[in-house]
Amino acid sequence: MVPILCIVGASNVGKTTFLEKLIPALVRRGYRVGTVKHDVHGFQMDREGKDTWRHAQAGAQTIAISSPMRVASIRSVPEELPLEEVVSRYFWDEDIVLAEGFKRSSFPKIELFRPEIEPRPLCSPSDNLIALVSDAAVEMDVPRFAFSDVDGLTDFLQSRYLESRKRPRVLVQLDGKKLPMKDFVQDFIAGGVLGMVSQLRGWKRPRQLRVTITLGDEA
């Protein structure tokens, strides 16, 4: 599964501002980055009166808008999806996902800490804290990086999570959820599917091959 790291900290500590520096630092090194923002109050992406808003008001459960440069979708859910399911369903090609918030999750956390905002850090190594970003000399049994040391934190993340990571050759999803597979299983599936499809009329070896199989009553 793609590495998921939670960027946590007190309100107004600067999580979004710091992410605006960390994301391009990772992108410059060739990594594909995804982000998730946690909103405990709910959110509204559509503006009232817009076509997609009108679709939702008419009863559509899932709405998508597509352009030549990007695509976006909004899906109604009966309850909040766990972070791992959000990543598994919607982040297919990323090398790392940075989640802003989710301090109660079990995923590795990087806390941003300013003593003028909060008297002490919110997390500890027992909460799966892996690093602290602070200009204060805090005693904590994890690496500490200054707010200005984005490259140092990027080095740390690259060494710990990214250098030895291989991008998957095959993506298999079950009802939208990514299925983890070992390398030999990916090779077996890719070889079998390519072998069969290459015998079909009109075959021309592509850079990417996508196959969707519908099972059960919906077939």
Q: Is the pLDDT of residue 111 over 70?
A: yes
Confidence grade of residue 100 (pLDDT, cut at 50, 70, 90): very high
Cβ 157 vs Cβ 23: under 8 Å? no
Largest Cα–Cα distance in the chain? 68
CA distance 23 to 20: 6
Cβ 41 vs Cβ 127: under 8 Å? no
CA distance 136 to 145: 10
Cβ 1 vs Cβ 87: under 8 Å? yes
Lowest mean per-residue pLDDT among 5-9, 95-99, 135-139, 199-203? 199-203
Decide which of 173 and 96 is more confident. Answer: 96
Residue 175, pLDDT score? 73
The tokens for 46 are 């559509």
| Chosen CATH of 4-41+82-162 out of 1.40.20.10, 3.40.1160.10, 3.40.50.300, 3.40.50.720 | 3.40.50.300
H or E segment at 111?
strand 109-112
Cβ 113 vs Cβ 138: under 8 Å? yes
Give the residue extent of every domain in the chain.
Answer: 4-41+82-162, 173-218
The tokens for 44 are 């509204």
